[in-house]
Amino acid sequence: MTRTLLTGNAAAAWGARLARIDYLPAFPITPQTEIIETVSRWIADDEMRCRMVMLESEHSMLTAAGAAASTGVRTFTATSSQGLLYGMEMLYTIAGWRVPLVLINVSRGLSAPITLEPDHNDILAARDSGCLQFHCATCQEVVDAILIAYRVAEQPQVRLPVIVNLDGFSLSFTREPVSLPDDETAARFLPAFRHDAGEFRGGRPASKAVAVIGGGAYSYFRYETHLAAMAAIDAYGEATRDFEQLFGRRYPSIECYRNDDAEISFVMIGSFATKAKEAVDRLRDAGHKVGLVRPFMLRPLPEADLRAALDGKAGIAVIDQNLAPGRGGILHGEVTSVLYGLKTRPAALLSYIGGLGGRDIGVEEFFQIAADVRAAIASGATPAPRLLYTQSELTDMRKMQAVAHVEAAGEELAS
């Protein structure tokens, strides 16, 4: 195991390499393209044995990925943002095909307005697709998540695609130290994909993904997909136990940081959660009992673990790096429903939206959030969800609008 500096994209490429992928259908999109470029270079240099095919869109790319996986070859692909949405139809479809593969999503805010930097609205748009979701917070997690993802996806009880999410820029282009598993141990953890009766093979014709008419048949397949996704909770537990034994790194489905004795918990997913860790440390230094709860596995949602992490807390702040217009934070809704019915559920459950399009969340903002939660606990009144935004950001925005002559257009409309 060597420790080396890698970007999140390079880590993803290494994950694919260590997983000994057979097939890589691809289509470029920023900030994901580097992953494909890296793997293609390895293939060209004979460092990897893999068939790579450029497709004409993400829709075709996911179709090819699903079709390849249904033949029993280990399939890997990657996309981001608009690309994920362009392939969305096939995301639901390949989950219904019940094929194991790993898709990397490099999170990036969605159009319009179009942007390049990260938030989680792209990956959360795929939340209900039937694909499982792992959310990475570091480049190390990216490599490890890919190996774990194949183990879970290929489990006979599961057989579903897994999306491994890493944030654009803050992980994709950011180098940090990564311990790379060696080939041999990686192969011990993740043996060759074992074909089974369900696989499609030449010489044995079968119709995959047939149409059904009638709610009874349709419901059966949808319910089974749900049961398989739920079965991934156990499969994940088993895979991560083996992983810890071989590599010494623990991957609980819900990471809890200084949370055991915490009175207040931050809940976040993705790489910005490490900022919350930093804030937790400093809040602790100042004498505040604050912790962090970070779902690594979001689908299936490990409800029991999440409950255990949050039950009995005095207050919680869910910080969503996404926005469902007309509702608010997506994670906030999920956390709320998990806590409902608990007798000792936290009295204060606050919602914050931040980090959209890569907007920073400053450490002072975490401090203020903690102060808000303390005030809510004291007063018993939950404040309205807050959209994190500062006066100076608005001032800058107004300047841009002035350059764009937005005011003039507004006056014209008003007159």
Partner 1 sequence: MYRIRFHGRGGQGMKTASRLLGTALFKSGLEVQDAPKYGAERRGAPMLAFVRADRRPIHERGTVVSPDLVLVADETLFQVPVAGVMAGVKASTVLAIASQKPENVWRDRLKIDSPIYVLPQSEAADDEIPDVSALIAGAAARLTGLVSQEVLRQAVEEEIAPYGPKAVAFNLRAAGEGFGAMAAGEGSVGESLDQGADSYDKPDWIDLDLDLAATAAPNVYAAANSVLVRTGLWRTLRPVLDPENCGKCVWVCGSSCPDGVIGVDANGYPDIDYQHCKGCMICVVQCPRHAFAAIPEQDAAEAAQAAQMAQMEGTAS
208 binds partner 1 (CB under 8 A): yes
Burial of 119 (0-12, 13-18, 19+ CB in 10 A): buried
> Is residue 156 near partner 1 by the rule CB under 8 A?
yes
Name the one range near partner 1 by CB under 8 A: 123-131, 215-223, 379-387, 390-398.
215-223
DSSP letter (8 states) at residue 109: P
Q: Give the integer Cα–Cα distance in Å for 215 and 299.
A: 25
Q: Which of 151, 159, 289, 294 binds partner 1 (CB under 8 A)?
A: 159
| HSE, side-chain direction, 13 A CA sphere, residue 315 | 23
Q: What is the largest CA-CA distance in the chain?
A: 73
197 scored as a contact of partner 1 (CB under 8 A): yes
How many chain residues are in contact with partner 1, going by CB under 8 A?
28
- Listed in sequence order, the residues at least 6 apart from 404 whose beta carbon sits closer than 8 Å to its beta carbon are none
Q: Does 157 bind partner 1 (CB under 8 A)?
A: yes
- Rounded least distance, CB 239 to partner 1, Å: 17
DSSP assignments along 332-364, one per residue? HHHHHHHHTT-TT--SEEEEEE--GGG----HH
Q: Does 228 bind partner 1 (CB under 8 A)?
A: yes
Q: Which of 1, 206, 347, 409 binds partner 1 (CB under 8 A)?
A: 206
Tokens standing for 403? 């350059």
Q: Which stretch binds partner 1 (CB under 8 A): 76-84, 150-158, 343-351, 361-369?
A: 150-158
CA distances in angstroms from 137 to 272, 352, 382, listed in the order given: 7, 19, 29
* 303 vs 375: CA distance, rounded Å: 28
Q: Is 98 in the site for partner 1 (CB under 8 A)?
A: yes
Residues 365 and 306 sit within 8 Å (Cβ to Cβ):
no
The residue (of 203 and 248) whose beta carbon lies closer to partner 1 is 203
* Stretch of residues binding partner 1 (CB under 8 A), selected from 27-35, 179-187, 225-233, 368-376: 225-233
Which of the stretches 54-62, 218-226, 235-243, 335-343 binds partner 1 when contact is defined by CB under 8 A?
218-226
Minimal distance, residue 304 CB to partner 1, in Å: 18
Q: How far apart are the first and last CA of the chain?
A: 69
Residue 198 as a binder of partner 1 (CB under 8 A): the answer is yes
From the CB of 302, what's the least distance to partner 1, in Å? 17
Taking residues 177 to 196 in sequence order and writing x for each that binds partner 1 by CB under 8 A, - otherwise, the string is: -------------------x
Name 262's Cβ contacts closer than 8 Å, sequence gap at least 6.
289, 290, 291, 313
400 touches partner 1 by CB under 8 A: no
Minimum gap (Å) between residue 301 Cβ and partner 1: 17
Binding of partner 1 by 345 (CB under 8 A): no
109-117, 199-207, 267-275, 280-288 -> range binding partner 1 (CB under 8 A):
199-207
| Closest distance of CB 221 from partner 1, Å | 5
Output the smallest distance, CB 102 to partner 1, in A. Answer: 16
**CA–CA distance, 98 with 378 (Å, rounded to integer):** 49
**Least distance CB 67 / partner 1 (angstroms):** 13
C-beta neighbour count of 271 within 10 angstroms:
28
| SS3 of residue 39 by DSSP | helix
Residue ranges that bind partner 1, judged by CB under 8 A? 96-98, 156-159, 196-198, 204-213, 220-221, 223-225, 227-228, 231
